[in-house]
Every structure is written in structure tokens, then in C-alpha cells.
Amino acid sequence: MIKGNETFNFELIFMPAMSRNTKYWLSQLCGWGLYALINIFFAYSFDKMGSLEEQQKIYFRLLVFIATGVLLSHVMRYTILGFNLLQKRLERQLIGFILITLVFAFAASTLLNLLLIQFNLQNKTERAFNDNFFLLVLSGAFSMFILFFIWNIIYFMYHFITKSQKQQLDTLKLEALVKELELKTIKAHINPHFIFNSLNGIRALIDEDPHRARNAITELSNILRSSMQTDKLESVSLEKELNIVKDYLALENMRFEDRLRVEYEIDEDTLDQPVPPMMLQTLVENAIKHGISKQISGGKIKIVSDFKDHYHELAVQNTGRLVNGTVKGEGFGLPSTLNRLSLLYGENARFSIKQLTSEIVEARVLLPVQMSI
């Protein structure tokens, strides 16, 4: 839920503790280091270490092997990025994955064997192939292919997971932006809708009673001032919302005179509960438009605020009748109320409108109770 001027900083929530480059080199060192430790473990396990000179030769050979692996895998990474392979379709990624692994397996085997020959670090099996360098490279390429295959699987999986997380993050940002824009759109409709209805009421008073019309304009100014102050807020206290409603009803009372009777049943403990701005006013306006104004003798509006079953209950009761169980006409008020409640509270808020008695219609909103700190 988006809070007024408060915005979620998704980057701070999901930002890795280390830079991507640091993670990459740490993974390289850990991966090849683990390979070195496994080789040393097996060398000791099968008693291949021998004399001190043979141990030094094994360690030096392993160092050459690790350096070659790190160098060629690093170049392989730049090749993958250079061909933009990670951004291509999955089929192309798989083909490129195999080809690059093959090419670098042969390249690594070639370089490694040249270094082993140069530093006289070959074992007996490798020395037997010295007369046929291609077979020597081919035999080494198989083991290098397996190592680079595993390396590429890990590398591609890491980027696949990272890409998925980024897509999820972008989706969350987009959903938050859409909700914010929808709320702003709904608010932008509420105020003009209210203004036009009020101005029509004032226009009816101008010829009939200019003094009352001037007072009505003053009342409208108070309402608009309050409305503008809450326009950028997602919620306001019930007390502030009631002040707007009272100004609005005072304005409508000038038009309806004794045809409009208002009652309040407000639990004072609910006055500090947050409510969507202009929502209660919209329900009251709807009650007057579809209820009181349809009655020749007018009617009564009752506003109720109380706590009920861990909910803050807001109800607007008015004289009137539902037509076929619904409000007659297709006004903006009720759909906007439903949309706002859905956007702000999801399934945690409820709205209903029903025929309470044969003469009374009730619009009721249940909001989750906000505990004061």
C-alpha cells in the first residue's frame, strides 16, 4: 500500500551487499580453489604425493592448471557478454553455450599442454602422446569440456535467476506505479464531481435567495480548502473527514431546508482512525442524490462510526429505496468507492449497500482498524 509521500525504495531492499564484479571474482576463486583442494585430497588419499620434489611438481602443475582455468574462463565470460548471448532466445543460448564450451575446452587444453611441456610437468600418460600433439590436446579437451560445462551452467543459472529477480522487481515497481496512478485518477474525478453537484445547488439559490447563495459559496470554499489540503494524502483522520461532511451537509441543508434531517452516531474513539479522503463525503453525496432528492417530503441521513469485530465500521443511512436491489442510475460515487477500497486495502476492506428497512438504505464500509502507536 502506497503511503502519500512515502515510496518504497526497492533498490535498497534488493540491492546486493557486494558489487557484481566482486561476487564474480569471489566465485571464481572459490570454484577453482575447491577444485584444487579436491585434487590435493585425492593425491594424498591415493598416496601419490611421493617425495618432496614430486610434491612440488604436483603443486606447480596444479597451479598452472588453475591459472589456465581462471584465465580461459574469464576470457570465456567476456566472449559470452561480447556476443550478448544472455539476452538471446533460449534456443540460441543453448547452441552458443555448447559451441563456446567446446572452443574454450580445446583452447584451454592446448594452452595447458604447451605449459606442461614447457615446464616439464607432464605425467607418464601425457608424455606417451608427445609424438601426436593433436591427440594430446583432444584427450585434455574432454576433461576441460566437463569443467567449463559446469562453469557455464553455474554462470548461466546465476544470470537466469538474477534476470528473473529483476523482472519480479520491475513488476513490483510497475504494480506500485499503476496503483498510484489509479488512485490519483480516482481522486481527480472525485473533486470535479463534487464541485459540479455543489455549484448546481448554489445556482438554484442565486435567484431565490442571494444572501443564502453567498453563504453557500462560503461553505463551498471551506469544503474545497479542506479537500485541497487532503488531496495529496492517501488517508486522513475520520475527524477531518467529518468536518468536510458537515460543511457539505450545511451547504445541502440550505437547498433542502427542513426536507433534510441529519443525525450522527459517532464513537469518539474512532475519530483518529484513518479513512480515504472524501470517501465518506462521496457516500453522503450519493445518499442525497439517490435518496433524499427523490423524496417529495425529503428524508433523514444518519452517519454511524463504530468498532465492530476488529473493523472500523462506517455507515451512511438514508431515506430511500433500492431499485431491484441496486442504486438507480450509474453514478460515479459508488464505483469510485469500490475502486479505492480495492486499491488501498485489497481484501482487507468490505463495502455493501442494502435495504436496511422498507424506507432506509444503508451503505456500509468496513476498514481494518489502525492501532495508534
Average pLDDT (204-231) is 76
- For residue range 61-79, list pLDDT tens digits in order: 899 999 999 999 999 999 9
Mean pLDDT is lowest, of 85-99, 178-192, 237-251, 323-337, for 178-192
Distance CA 123, CA 115 (A): 13
Give the angle subtended at the CA of 140 by the CAs of 134 and 144, to the nearest 5°. 130
Instruction: Considering only residues 164 and 32, tell me which one the structure prediction assigns the higher pLDDT.
Output: 32
Whole-angstrom Cα distance, residue 335 to residue 363? 13
Domain ranges of the chain: 10-174, 209-368
| 105, pLDDT greater than 90 | yes
Answer yes or no: is pLDDT of 345 > 70: yes
Q: What is the reported pLDDT for 333?
A: 61
Please check the confidence at residue 332 and state whether its pLDDT lies above 60: no
φ/ψ of residue 96, rounded to 5: -65, -35
The letter for the amino acid at 104 is F
- Residue 182 CA to residue 276 CA, distance in Å, equals 14
Task: With a cut of 60, say whether residue 130 has pLDDT above it.
Answer: yes
Would you say 274 and 327 are in contact if contact means Cβ atoms under 8 Å apart?
Answer: no
Please give the pLDDT value at position 305.
95
For residues 55 and 351, which has the higher predicted lDDT (pLDDT)? 351
Name residue, grid cell 469518539. Answer: 268
The more confidently predicted of residues 53 and 110 is: 110
> Which single residue is written with the C-alpha cell 443564502?
212
DSSP calls for 73-113: HHHHHHHHHHTTGGGS-HHHHHHHHHHHHHHHHHHHHHHHH
Q: What is the pLDDT, as a whole number, of residue 326?
A: 56
Residue 311 DSSP code: E
Chain-centroid distance of CA 163 in Å reads 16
pLDDT at 12 over 50: no
Q: Of the ranges 113-117, 220-224, 228-232, 330-334, which one carries the lowest mean pLDDT score? A: 330-334
**Is 316 in contact with 353 (CB distance < 8 Å)?**
no
Contact, 262 vs 249, CB < 8 A?
Answer: yes
DSSP string, 217-277: HHHHHHHHHHHHHHTT-S-EEHHHHHHHHHHHHHHHHHHHGGGEEEEEEE-GGGTTSEE-T
Q: Which residue has the higher pLDDT, 330 or 266?
A: 266
Q: Give the pLDDT confidence of 235-272 residue by residue, as tens digits.
A: 889 998 898 888 888 888 877 778 899 999 999 999 99
Confidence check: pLDDT of 94 > 50? yes
Cβ–Cβ under 8 Å, residues 101 and 149: yes
pLDDT number for residue 334: 75
8 A C-beta contact, residue 169 and residue 8:
no
User: Using CA atoms, how far apart are residues 273 and 372, in angstroms rounded to an integer?
Assistant: 8
pLDDT at 230: 60
Q: Say what the pLDDT of residue 329 is.
A: 47
Name the pTM for this structure.
0.50
Instruction: Please state which of the four CATH numbers 2.60.120.10, 3.30.565.10, 3.40.50.300, 2.30.29.30 is assigned to the domain occupying 209-368.
Output: 3.30.565.10
Distances (CA, A) of 228 to 1, 192, 214, 244, 301: 22, 12, 21, 11, 26
At 7 the pLDDT is 39
Helix (H) or strand (E) holding 367: strand 360-368
CB atoms within 10 A of CB 279: 23
- How far apart (Å, rounded) are the C-alpha atoms in residues 270 and 282? 19
Which of 224, 200, 204, 223 lies closest to 212, judged by CA?
Answer: 204
Helix 52-82 crosses helix 133-208 at what angle (to 10 degrees)? 40
**CA 177 from centre of chain:** 8
